[in-house]
Chains A and B, each alone.
Chain A
Amino acid sequence: MKLRRRETVTLQLVTALGAAALLFPFLWMISASLQTLQEVESFPPIWIPEVPQWTNYVEAVVNYNIGRALFNSAVVTTVSVVGQLVVCSLGAYAFSRLRFPGRDAIFLLFLATMMIPHYVTIIPLYTMVWSAGLIDTYTALIFPGLFSPFGTFLLRQFFNQIPISLDEATLIDGGNHWHIYLYVIMPLSRAGLGALGIFSFLGIWNTLFWPVLVINSKELFTLPLALAMAQGQFITLIHIQMAGSVIACVPVIVVFLMLQKQFISSIALSGMKQ
């Protein structure tokens, strides 16, 4: 579709204006995170702080628990993403490639439960974690997320596209089923593993619901939880809250900018987010 010059200019302008409008809240957050409290609360709003208050970040990290929460989020997210990739890829490999009695029955059961959403299972899950004495532990944060049904299903779909003749070639060359998994399936599924990795990274880094339930003590707060609690407790300290929010956004934005192509294709691939 070729457009006339006039139309192109108009569209270009609309695009730029829309982008500016979307960036506006971001810029305000960054600006507010560098202002004094007095500046944040002044009217009309100040956009450029007189002296950038970098100490807001130090204060957020040291005095308002953001540093500890950043560490917790990093640990929980890393372990969860890696664990999920291992567990789900093994499960998907079994579903996709290995024949064993009961496999199809298990897969049917699995499909039947995939529709049931998180909020239905979360109450029994919470009572299980609670009666196992696991409230306020890393285990409670990490463990239930490792066995993602969605992840297993997604990877199985990917694995199914890999020609089975490659498996046979490996077997003929004297390899076993673990060789197939390690040297055929995994290397050829980088796109799928990348997509699942991105989904679970975003999901775990951003989630609030589960940490709110299973974590009580400050030492184990994840970033979203620490921010949510700060919003409740230091409701007036806007500049500190904004500094904390920026800290929570930076890792996601860095990863997003680095892996933009994979992000876009993985969202387009399955559209599952939120």
Chain B
Amino acid sequence: MLSRQAQAGQDADGVTAGKRPRMSGIARKEAIAGYIAISPWLLGFMIFQLAPILGAFYISSTEWRILSAPEFIGVRNFDKLLFNDDLFWQSIKVTVIYVIFRVPISAMLSLALALLMNQQLAGRRLFRTIYYLPAVIPLVAVSMMWIWIFNPEYGVLNSLIRVFGIEGPQWIHSSRWALPALIIMSLWQVGTGMVIFLAGLQGIPAHLYEAATIDGANTWQRFLKVTLPMLSPVVLFALVMNVIGSFQIFTQAYIMTAGGPGNATLFLVLYIYRNAFEWFHMGYASALAWVLFVVVLVISLAMLRSSEHWVHYEGRVGGA
């Protein structure tokens, strides 16, 4: 801090003494080091992030079949997807259903697991490892595994159901059950949420629980009045991250169902992929990608907005 002020003072002196801002030798050395240190990243940032963003703006306003030159068509891509493309609305519907079911269910499961892991149970570390493990392994391998678990004839899931004398559904081979199957499968990877919640739980000071107990609160009241409010910022964070991630589901559908049967699992990112890389409608696919971005952005902002009513921040008076 001291040095920053000293530096600022020095800069100011430089200005008054030389009429125009001149750098001292030390400052110049620092600036040169700065430019050198930042240049690999900056170059990469401009080529692989900035240019593609600008490019994506332009491409979304063109009709571009990659082999011929792009043709400017204004907002016609957006016009088409909003008013003239049933598959787009199908993909929105499928994706939104997936998010609506997956996010809350997995949040509740992760919270339950985190509460369990926060107890003094024997073998707690081993269990934590087991619960978290499915979240780190490659999604492709997970998908391969679950294809056979969901296999209607000799898959383990249906043979388990058969024990009760019921014939299980066709799972990913049925247009009715494919989407629920992918939601069930996604719950297998609740470990990420559990770890985030667990870190939050461990940050809650013990004296709050002690005070609540002295005031005569039982376990359930302590959970409602201490745990939940104290955890709410973490819950908000986990929910927003999960919504953003869930909207981008691709790999499972690409490998397990190819968007089917009958477009029952045609998620938005898969539809973007098809448009761009199977049908080579680069312009239209870019427009779809922007729409997905806007949808996710609006939902995230709405969640942050709503959080004023239910997220409790320590040290803020009058919080919910």
Contacts and interface: CB of A to CB of B under 8 A. Distances in A.
Interface string A25-45: 110110010000000111111
Contact of B31 (A88, A98, A257): A98
B241 A125 contact: no
Contacts of A12: 121-122
A38 to B, nearest CB: 11
A271 B293 CA distance: 20
Interface residues on A, range: 35 or more
Dominant secondary structure of chain A at its interface with chain B: helix
Given A22-B131, A268-B196, A123 B137 contact: no
B119 A3 contact: yes
B40 A264 contact: no
Contacts of B127: 15-16, 19
Contacts of A100: 30-32, 34-35, 38
B130 A29 contact: no
Contact of B188 (A25, A117, A130): A25
Interface string B276-320: 110000100110011011001100000000000000000000000
A11 interface: yes
Given A99-B27, A100-B31, A123-B289, A43 B140 contact: no
Q: Which of A40, A122, A143 has the most CB of B within 10 A?
A: A122
B116 A14 contact: yes
Interface string A4-27: 000010011011101100111110
B66 A127 contact: yes
Dominant secondary structure of chain B at its interface with chain A: helix
B255 A88 contact: no
Nearest to B40: A87
Contact of B237 (A15, A19, A90, A271): A271
Contacts of A224: 138-141, 251
Interface string B232-255: 000001100100110010110011
B177 interface: no
B131 A121 contact: no
Contacts of B111: none
Given A93-B37, A100-B35, A267 B255 contact: no
B192 interface: yes
B245 A274 contact: yes
B137 A11 contact: no
A48 to B, nearest CB: 14
Given A32-B148, A100-B30, A228-B254, A208 B285 contact: no
A108 interface: no
Contact of B42 (A22, A91, A168): A91
A91 B277 contact: no
Nearest to B113: A18
Contacts of B47: 128, 147
A106 B43 CA distance: 12
B31 A101 contact: yes
Interface stretch (A50-58, A189-197, A238-246): A238-246
B33 A124 contact: no
A128 B1 CA distance: 44
Contacts of A274: 192, 245, 248
Given A94-B38, A238-B148, A117 B30 contact: no
A54 B245 CA distance: 37
B60 to A, nearest CB: 9
A252 B273 CA distance: 27
